[in-house]
Amino acid sequence: MSAAPTPRSVVIVGGGVGGLAAAVRLAAGGHVVRLLERSDRVGGKLGSHAAAGFRWETGPSLLTLPAVFDELLGLAGTSLAAACRPVRLERTCRYHFADGSSFTTWDDPAATRAAVEALAPGSGPAWDRWARRAERVWTTAERTFFAGPIEDPRALFARMRSPLDLLAIDPLPTLHQRAARTFADPRLVQWACRYATYAGSDPWRVPATLGCIPHIEQAFGCWALAGGLATLAGALAGAASSLGASVETGAEVAAVLAAGPGGRVSGVRLASGETVAADVVVADVDAAHLYADLLPDRSGQRRVRAAGRSTSGFVLLLGAEGRTEALDHHTVLFSSAYRQEFRDLAAGRPPADPTVYVCAADRNDPSAAPPGHESLFVLVNVPSADDPDAAWADGRADAYADRVLAALDRRSLGLRPRLVHREVITPADLAARHRAVGGAIYGTSSNGRRAAFTRPSNRGPRPGLYLVGGSTHPGGGLPLVALSAKIVAAMVDADGVVPG
């Protein structure tokens, strides 16, 4: 006799990429799915904004691991190539250092290695060692850490072939320690440390495991989508709908309902007062919001606090005449004092001398700016805050925007006189728009060796409740939140299996 998963009625709370990915997977698995998103559009942090002929991403600007989305869209009979217009970038990122030097990473590994040698002669062998280790970390983590839930460490160990797998994912040193042991040139150390910020975390605290991200970019590419990354949200919503899921916007969930203390979830109540019954509730909201507001739960709140919030982001959306030659599609302008920057963040202060990331999407998509102009999405890491409204009130947002522009001025980009449009997105805006508690971009942080285990787990404290998205396992970032949906869909099926 074969075993078959029982079809369930599923409510998904939140239409970010985690919720949309869960809708696709669960609808493809035969469940009856209703996705409820409070705002007037799906995609959550994955969004775009257009004004004065310019278009900017307002959240993610870089797509990695496209195969994750190809597989997902494949469940609805389509693909990333068919549903979006993916562009694999030839030059993946340009880095400018405070001493005036710079280098470019390329899709072609040999070109990247040559650029590293040109920047820091003699660094090639160290680069090769770094690349080999990064590949080993990824290939091991992919089949262990990312392949299922880690409700407790035993779940992870069960997926390991031997204890050597644990060492292979390099969890013991911090990312900074690993980088400093590998590279003699401080600029390459700074380059490597940057990858902690992909998880809203601190290179002096995050495990060296995150050193696998450069391998992911090198091996599987850095991607843009013509028309903007936010088109992915529409593609996922379309895929979910085509599989029979109901994707509803303007539907704010006020409570997750459960049968008595410790009992199974029974559905949700909307802010409108309507009740929606369901066997399964999948929460794609920040776990802090879930456990404080929707289904108050002390131990869940403790777990959220223990995990710690990720950093937030301060964004400038700029439109400028002409073209800044020093800027590529993706450019990082490093500060002179990286350690101090993370000390500032840890102390809850926006960095005085910030590293600035710029995405000039028009470099590969002319529709992002009017002819003769450029559209620049500028992002600086700033701390999340207990009260982001207060933290960014009283002119502090405008003052910090000027500080960021001054940091760009110091690089002689000649940008300020050419500006024709300027908008700001603060952590307070991120909190209000997406219910990102404290404005945290990635929900929980990855700081510390135990971070992966202290993060709120995919299985909620009530039977029938599951968590997807940035604040649960395996973490934030587009491909990871999509993987959280894969993990949860498998859990829903396994929990609902009846003898066939």
Ligand X SMILES: Cc1cc2nc3c(=O)[nH]c(=O)nc-3n(C[C@H](O)[C@H](O)[C@H](O)COP(=O)(O)OP(=O)(O)OC[C@H]3O[C@@H](n4cnc5c(N)ncnc54)[C@H](O)[C@@H]3O)c2cc1C
Residues lying near ligand X in the complex (CB under 6 A) = 13-19, 36-39, 44-46, 59-62, 252-253, 284-285, 289, 313, 315, 379, 430, 434-436, 441-442, 469-470, 476-478, 481
185/293 with CB nearer ligand X: 293
Query: At closest approach, how far in Å is the CB of 253 from ligand X?
Result: 4
> What are the tokens at 189?
């150390």
> What are the tokens at 25?
């997977």
Query: At closest approach, how far in Å is the CB of 408 from ligand X?
Result: 17
119/440 with CB nearer ligand X: 440
5/228 with CB nearer ligand X: 228
5/388 with CB nearer ligand X: 388
Contact between 214 and 192 (Cβ < 8 Å)? yes
Query: At closest approach, how far in Å is the CB of 123 from ligand X?
Result: 27
8/434 with CB nearer ligand X: 434
Contact between 95 and 328 (Cβ < 8 Å)? no
Query: At closest approach, how far in Å is the CB of 49 from ligand X?
Result: 12
| Cis status of the peptide bond prior to 474, with omega within 30 of 0 | yes
Residue 105: helix, strand or coil by DSSP? strand
Query: At closest approach, how far in Å is the CB of 108 from ligand X?
Result: 22
CA distance 500 to 497: 9
Beta bridge partners of 499: 3
CA-wise closest residue to 426 among 407, 398, 451: 398
Helices H, strands E: what count in the chain?
Answer: 19, 21
60/148 with CB nearer ligand X: 60
- Percent helix, strand and coil across the chain, each rounded to 5? 40, 20, 35
Query: At closest approach, how far in Å is the CB of 207 from ligand X?
Result: 19
319/475 with CB nearer ligand X: 475
CA distance 37 to 284: 10
Query: At closest approach, how far in Å is the CB of 485 from ligand X?
Result: 9
H-only helix segments in 61-151: 66-74, 80-83, 109-119, 124-143
173/227 with CB nearer ligand X: 227
Query: At closest approach, how far in Å is the CB of 474 from ligand X?
Result: 11
Q: Which residues of 457-480 are buried (b: 16+ CB within 10 A; e: fewer)?
A: bbbbbbebbbbbbbbbbbbbbbbb
CA distance 445 to 292: 18
CA distance 98 to 338: 10
Place of tokens 């999407």: 361
Contact between 409 and 275 (Cβ < 8 Å)? no
CA distance 295 to 254: 9
Contact between 351 and 376 (Cβ < 8 Å)? no
Query: At closest approach, how far in Å is the CB of 372 from ligand X?
Result: 27
183/334 with CB nearer ligand X: 334
Query: At closest approach, how far in Å is the CB of 356 from ligand X?
Result: 13
Query: At closest approach, how far in Å is the CB of 318 from ligand X?
Result: 14
Q: Is the dihedral of CA 25, 26, 32, 33 positive or negative?
A: negative
168/237 with CB nearer ligand X: 237
Q: What's the half-sphere exposure (Cβ side, CA atoms, 13 Å) at 285?
A: 32
Q: Which secondary-structure segment (H or E) carries 476?
A: none
CA distance 30 to 243: 9
369/378 with CB nearer ligand X: 378
